[in-house]
Amino acid sequence: MAYDKFTVLQSTAVPLPTENVDTDQIIPARFLKATEREGFGDNLFRDWRYDVEGNPKKDFVLNDRTYSGKILVAGKNFGSGSSREHAVWALYDYGFRCVVSSFFADIFKNNCLNIGVLPVTISPEFADLLFTAIAADPNTAVEVNLPQQTITLLATGASESFDINEYKKDNMQHGFDDIDYLINMAAEIEGFEASR
Amino acid sequence: MEKNTLFDKIWDAHVIKSVPAGPDVFFIDKHFIHEVTSPVAFLNLKLRGIGVKYPNRTIATPDHNVPTVDQDQTIKDKLSRMQVEKLRENCAKYGIELHDLGSAHHGIVHVIGPELGVTQPGMTIVCGDSHTSTHGAFGAIAFGIGTSEVEMVLATQCIMQSKAKKMRISMEGTLGKGVTSKDIILYIISKISAAGATGYFVEYAGSAIQSLSMEARMTICNMSIEMGARGGLIAPDETTFAYLKGKQYAPKGADWEKAVAHWKTLKTDDGAIFDKELVFEAEDIEPMITYGTNPGMGIKVTGTIPTTQGMEGSNKTSYLKSLDYMGFAPGEAVKGKLVDYVFVGSCTNGRIEDIRAVAQFVKGHQKAENITAWIVPGSREVEKMAHEEGLVKILEDAGFELRQPGCSACLAMNDDKIPAGKYAVSTSNRNFEGRQGPGARTMLASPLTVAAVAITGRITDPREVFGN
């Protein structure tokens, strides 16, 4: 079920250039024992964010007040491993509405699209440009424009377009999800099932 | 005539409609659910005021967070208990077949599906678990999905996905002594990286794959996701049919003959085009082990950890962060390093052949003093066979602790956790930071290598310990 609609987002961004961040890091398995979708943000990146006593680790970006925003700019191969949608719930619950990376794992990307957190795939060069710009000025604003399919560094105007299929784009913009679509196909699905 | 791959044949036969400039509406034959990724899907169905469309196409079992001791008693952990109770409640409410704790076919979802004969060639199978790719060993399209998609399948028996690109990985030749299918897949992932097959669905082919048992094939397909693939599959053959024949849900009588005739057509046509083709030689593979924090970070047991030569930027930083977590340095040999735990189990290597292999090798030996050795059967059926075949006695005599079926220390959602800083050599599938418990250091290997490590207490080449 999609959380909300997505059209144009302007925000500062949080950089996490580490590569191969798997969903076990985003939300460790021991925090998956819930039967509802709320509250996962508290344990987002739990073991990178807190030590064993529960004290914030100073060197982790989410504990650095310099950086904030609704956009997470992540390293290559973000969201690999477990299919747990809880990873996206945790990112959303924490406040992220968009994740940007030069390379996403497949299941994670689908999970993002299904609940309305926009995954934006950019070139490695544009990723470097974003990391550099955010490091130079943590208050620099980034615009993610879904109708135009562009991501722009507002200070310089540096921009890149990104791909998303028309169907998913339309869903994101209107807050629809696949079940809304599939329910309207009930007769065709029933016919197909009966032929199996 | 058009030449198609096995993947094309199964995929195309399950597309109800292709959305213009969008995904395919894709029909799912079988859906497995477990206690962790299903409760929110059921909750959302309730919020939408809709039910389960085809309950007989879904099968449930609690596996991820269940305790592996005292399964006949109430689950002590409150949150785990609530999830398992929720699964029972939802299955009862919607009429879904449940293989509950303590029942004859309880176990890890990817172990019981094949055991029951639910998993069959040509099917489309999904589950809210990335290791659903295991079922591809039967020539099925099987892959992991998120909870939103679990909800879609419950509500409509369909999901909406774009067709993946196609890759074929061929493995020719004969495996050397002490080399298993786990080594094959760890070798492939080490060659192409943990993201080397992202965007693809992989078909495994070649003489080295065809010569494997069904269980060994499952180990390979299971870890397809660890190189980023949506899934992996192997064309069904006589080995597949022999495995399925007589299984509870396998077709019987005339239906069996008809099914086999159809299954024999499920193979890639000569001349079919893949988006990518890779070829490896079985002779090049030695017993493998991982040294880092993703499954692509693997080397032969006798090898050395790669240096940072040629790495720069976040690539180098990420690599050193990983080695720092593991307590290793670039250029080091791994052989001879002390180990604290061994774990035999999981949907990757928790089947009876795995337990037989370990028992055969440790028979007459004692585990090393410094080792805690856990062995967790993938299902009740595996547990029963291990008892009947005398394997449990052999393992217990060697100092192994046998636990009850479940995912256990593979992801440490229950109490089966490796303590912080300790080294575990594990037959499971992921060596991510904290995967086997906060701070735990996991090294993935085959059941044979794990058996050798259990005996010597150190990273060991199984070929040296067990000789012939």
Q: Write b or e for each residue in B85-94: b if 16 or more Cβ atoms lie within 10 A of its Cβ, otherwise e.
A: bbbbebbeeb
pLDDT of B380 strictly over 90: yes
| C-alpha dist (Å) from residue A10 to A42, A162, B260 | 24, 16, 57
Percent of chain A surpassing pLDDT 90: 94
Put simply, the answer to whether A185 touches B152 (Cβ < 8 Å) is: no
Least confident segment among A29-38, A99-108, B320-329, B440-449: A29-38
The mean pLDDT of B117-139, rounded to a whole number, is 98
The mean pLDDT of B201-220, rounded to a whole number, is 98
Q: Count CB atoms within 10 A of the CB of residue B306.
A: 16
The pLDDT value recorded for residue A34 is: 87
Query: How far apart are alpha carbons B2 and B379 in whole angstroms?
Result: 42
Residues from chain A contacting residue B430 (CB–CB below 8 Å): 22, 24, 81-82
Q: Which residues contact B181 (CB under 8 A, 6 or more apart)?
A: B212, B216, B217, B219, B220
- For residue B18, give both structure tokens: 């292709």
Interface probe, candidates B42, B157, B158, B312, chain A, greatest A C-beta count within 10 A: B158
DSSP state for residue A41 in the 8-state scheme: G
Structure confidence by residue, pLDDT tens digits, B330-356: 999 999 999 999 999 999 999 999 999
Give the confidence band of B235 by pLDDT, cuts at 50, 70, 90: very high
Q: Which residues contact B318 (CB under 8 A, 6 or more apart)?
A: A18, A19, A20, A75
Angle between helices B147-156 and B39-48 (to 10 degrees): 50
Structure confidence by residue, pLDDT tens digits, B8-53: 999 999 999 999 999 999 999 999 999 999 999 999 999 999 999 9
B85 close to B60: Cβ distance less than 8 angstroms: no
Give the confidence band of B1 by pLDDT, cuts at 50, 70, 90: confident
Q: Count CB atoms within 10 A of the CB of residue B47.
A: 9
Strand B231-233 and strand B298-300: the pairing is: unpaired
Q: What DSSP assignment string belongs to B102-152? A: TSTT-B-HHHHHHHHT---TT-EEEESSGGGGGGGGGS-EEEE--HHHHHH
Query: How far apart are alpha carbons B427 and B343 in whole angstroms?
Result: 6
Structure confidence by residue, pLDDT tens digits, A126-183: 999 999 999 999 999 999 999 999 999 999 999 999 999 999 999 999 999 999 999 9
Put simply, the answer to whether B434 touches A76 (Cβ < 8 Å) is: no
Average pLDDT along chain B: 97
The pLDDT value recorded for residue B187 is: 98
Residues from chain B contacting residue A85 (CB–CB below 8 Å): 37, 40, 128, 146-148
Closest Cβ opposite residue A25 in set B155, B158, B433: B433
pLDDT of B217 strictly over 70: yes
Least confident segment among A27-36, A94-103, B139-148, B429-438: A27-36
The pLDDT value recorded for residue A2 is: 73
Burial of B436 per CB tally in 10 Å (0-12, 13-18, 19+): buried
Put simply, the answer to whether A81 touches B80 (Cβ < 8 Å) is: no
Query: How far apart are alpha carbons B428 and A77 in whole angstroms?
Result: 22
Structure confidence by residue, pLDDT tens digits, B150-167: 999 999 999 999 999 999
3-state secondary structure of A149: coil
Positive or negative CA dihedral for B205, B206, B207, B209?
negative
Where are the strands (E) in B376-451, listed by range?
A: 401-402, 423-426, 441-444
Q: Name residues of chain A where pLDDT drops below 70.
A: none
Residues from chain A contacting residue B293 (CB–CB below 8 Å): 20
Give the confidence band of B465 by pLDDT, cuts at 50, 70, 90: confident
Which residue bears the tokens 């199964």?
A: B10
The pLDDT value recorded for residue B292 is: 98
The pLDDT value recorded for residue B167 is: 98
Closest Cβ opposite residue B230 in set A84, A106, A185: A106
Positive or negative CA dihedral for A92, A98, A103, A109?
positive
Residues from chain B contacting residue A30 (CB–CB below 8 Å): 412-413, 438
Closest Cβ opposite residue B148 in set A19, A25, A114: A114
